[in-house]
Structure 1
Amino acid sequence: MNPDTLEIIRMLFPLIAVIMLFAVGGWVLTTWMRIKNGYPLDGAWGQAIYPRKDEESVERIKLLSQENAQLRAELGSVKDRLANVERIVTDGGTLLSHEIDRLRTASN
């Protein structure tokens, strides 16, 4: 080989090594994050490797979905209550007094 070519290769080798190191490190980091967060990994031909579908996973997903629905319903009721509290706080004192009196007379 030509000495100039060898010199160019010797100068470019650290740059190429750093680029390859970042590429491999990024792949490792991405794979670790996918495993940590439960995303499926892809095999060499695109088939899913992890997580496998088993009865425990399906049951866990169902329970989490039910809990999510319950929490959403509770959040809706909390929003309604907060809206009432905001209305009471922002309304003038006379409007609140009139409404309380009206409710008292209606209950009697």
Structure 2
Amino acid sequence: MDGFTVFMLAIICVGLPVTLGIGGEMFKSWMRHKETMATALNAQTAEKAAQYAAHTERLEQRVRVLERLATDRGIAVADDIERLRDARPVN
């Protein structure tokens, strides 16, 4: 065997496992990062969904009140509206 063949064999026998080991660790680190980002995104999405659900519930309550005002009584509607306007929480 000549010197070049021995050199290439040494590069393959030593360099390839080292390169694959470093590449494997980089891939594991990248996967951990992606999992962390996915967890954070899931938490953020769940929080937004809860906020939207709460907002929807408030809107449904307001619609129920308006439906009740429109269908139950016709005489005291203005008084009920004024009373609701005074009782409305300030955001």
| Shorter-chain TM band | 0.3 to 0.5
TM-score, normalised by the number of residues in structure 2: 0.47
Larger radius of gyration: 2
Structure showing the higher strand proportion among its residues: 1
Structure showing the higher helix proportion among its residues: 2
Q: Which has the higher contact order (CA 8 A, sep 6+)?
A: 2
TM-score, normalised by the number of residues in structure 1: 0.40
